[in-house]
Amino acid sequence: MGLSEHPLAQIVQGGEPWMTTRMDFLVNWSRANSLWPMPFGTACCAIEFMAAAANKFDLARFGMERMSFSPRQADVLICAGRVPFKLAPVMRRIWQQMMQPKWVISMGACASTGGMFDSYAVVQGIDTIVPVDVYVPGCPPRPEGLIYGIMLLQKKIMAERASDKSLRQEMEPDPRSQLYIPPAAIDELSEPFGNSVHQTRSGL
């Protein structure tokens, strides 16, 4: 996505080089093409993520080659793998430590929905802990899938408007329950689906 291709950008040939563009576009363009990922790899999706970062698929093409293992220098949290309940406060803490602007990619079935781990130990979708921007389906998704998700995120970033104050609002969890969406919504999101509806909560 070259800057000169944008309809609003004009580069006048000859004389002093200058150009005009929209501020939103310039900011979004630079953000979208230098996303620093915070890799939160917990399972097999992380293997595919590593493959995506390595030379064959080469995340560097998207300005993402700099893995930020400190959340304070990261732009996008890529959750690759299932998140057990014991890790939920850790993930929440990492998300809160990240600076605005920040985004989340939920990579794979487990991170997005709990996947096949409809059990006592696994969070049924990380969107119950942190707000998610892009869900990448797959078990695990191939690197192409993740790259497609990243390109969708770039599209989303390009459409952001600085005048939209709601975009950069920090998520405020309820101080008593630490939940940021209503409990009823979490129960609904976590409802079993597919084959697992045949199981019951009563056990045995």
Partner 1 sequence: MNSSAPFTPVIAGSAAADSVPATPKNVAHRGGPASPAADALRQRFGAAVQRVDVVWGETTIVVDSARIAEIVSWLRDDPAQRYDFLADITAVEFRDAEQPIEVVWHVRSLAFRRFLRLKVLLGQGQPLQVPSVWGIHKSADWLERECYDMFGITFTGHPDLRRILMWEQYREGYPLRKDFPLRGRFSRSEQLRQALSANPEARYSMDELSIAQAFEDLPNDMRRRLSEGEKTGEKTGE
Where does this chain bind partner 1 (CB under 8 A)?
Answer: 85-86, 88-90, 92-93, 118-121, 123-124, 128-129, 173, 177-179, 183-184, 186-187, 189-190, 192, 199-204
Give whichever of 148 and 180 is closer to partner 1, judged by the CB atom: 180
Instruction: Return d(Cα 110, Cα 108) in angstroms, integer.
Output: 6
Minimum CB distance to partner 1, residue 184 (Å): 7
Instruction: Return d(Cα 130, Cα 126) in angstroms, integer.
Output: 6
Query: Is residue 78 within 8 Å of 105, Cβ to Cβ?
Result: yes
Instruction: Return d(Cα 71, Cα 66) in angstroms, integer.
Output: 13
Give whichever of 67 and 116 is closer to partner 1, judged by the CB atom: 116
| Side chain identity at residue 100, one-letter code | Q
Give whichever of 20 and 202 is closer to partner 1, judged by the CB atom: 202
Minimum CB distance to partner 1, residue 192 (Å): 8
Give whichever of 145 and 192 is closer to partner 1, judged by the CB atom: 192
Minimum CB distance to partner 1, residue 194 (Å): 14
Query: Is residue 190 within 8 Å of 125, Cβ to Cβ?
Result: yes
Minimum CB distance to partner 1, residue 97 (Å): 12
Minimum CB distance to partner 1, residue 89 (Å): 5
Here the tokens at position 66 are 């700099």
User: Which strands form 134-136's sheet, in the order they lie side by side?
Assistant: 37-41, 76-80, 103-107, 134-136
CA triplet 126, 115, 69: central angle to 5 degrees?
A: 45
Beta bridge partners of 79: 40, 106
Minimum CB distance to partner 1, residue 177 (Å): 5
Give whichever of 138 and 173 is closer to partner 1, judged by the CB atom: 173
Nearest to 89 by CA among 41, 130, 39: 130
Give whichever of 36 and 180 is closer to partner 1, judged by the CB atom: 180
Here the tokens at position 62 are 């998207």
